[in-house]
Structure 1
């Protein structure tokens, strides 16, 4: 294991982490993937601070993580045109009311309430806004309809059980277009910057990270990716997650004192 992320060997490891993640998740060829600082939280914050403000935004919240993104957008970014569409714990917001001609921010799998969106059918294919999806509890465990998602974030530790502190940021061509044609009115810290002179920093999506990653954590992540491929790739990972849920469901069915918070089986995390 090398120490330098700028060495030839270090760059190769980081590039492999991106390539193997792309392959395992079956990302469309035109989508970009980068390793970013501060886990899934850092990836989401990069997207919010870099992309929002170009048009109105619908914020979806039905558990604590989604509510946290609402707080960031309303209290930190303080955007003028924000619609907060909420639901109580155990339910989903009215997805039919979401306007995808606006930007949309949501969590795919809300683990603190045990509720996920069942699919992406509510997202228009001809949308004008960007869909920004916190998928840290869904990537590698649930099907993600990539053509419906413009920005997707996840971490190394949540589903694959890797080491913490490193996030992953997926960008669609539409998200890249926004980055290259829109400049937010607020300052962007170095850790959030993905463009230079109005052009995407392409090296970021080849493994040239913004700051120094832990090469030990990189090796651990590569080990997790290799294991995932060995057991059968994405279908096997999703199958394991579904099988685990079935074990819990069978226990709940036999219990007289516990039940799922999510009444609809299709939305159970």
Structure 2
């Protein structure tokens, strides 16, 4: 039985697979054929193949329209030339949603949720994960705490529940029992000063959002002085040009799928 890799080892493996992923993308986009692709894949072991799949998925933006994602395909599986549908505005994320089974939502095991919140590695379906996050927030856990419980990269829990909130809002609904923490979170002056000083020291809005249990937009308003203008601390004069969290943690992000599906 193969040993389970640590987070650090998965990150190193994903980084090592990036050149392989780039080579495979170049081959598929016209610089090679089936034989070359097979040669690349045949030279990998199971762990490397899994890492390659995750890295390739990480290089794709799920919110790009399908016309842009697949527009380069101008031949079908029979070798016949076709005209790409560049006007297909459905996103890759929408296509992924179509693969969800009823089991993703049917039934919520509250005993399993309680065990998960107590630190046990329990496999939760999608509905249970939503319920677990909301219950965790009610118990005073931060998004970072729940990232650690799930064994995923920092920011994954917040991004997951944000998508679920947006999807519910698009249906004209609200997640059962959900009160977004940032709507009721009140800060003391020492907390505001601490947040502003950490921002001035280089912390990103996402890092601070995870630390304080609010949305990154709330952090931005606080560090710019739009919220709590009477409190002290260094203010950000304008929107930060800091690189996004997703670009800073490319390889850690690419390995998230090894630990838990998000």
TM range (shorter): under 0.3
Q: Which structure has more helix as a fraction of its residues?
A: 2
Q: Normalised by the size of structure 1, how large is the TM-score?
A: 0.23
Q: Which entry has the higher C-alpha Rg, 1 or 2?
A: 2
Q: Normalised by the size of structure 2, how large is the TM-score?
A: 0.23
- Highest RCO, 1 vs 2 (Cα 8 Å, sep ≥ 6): 1
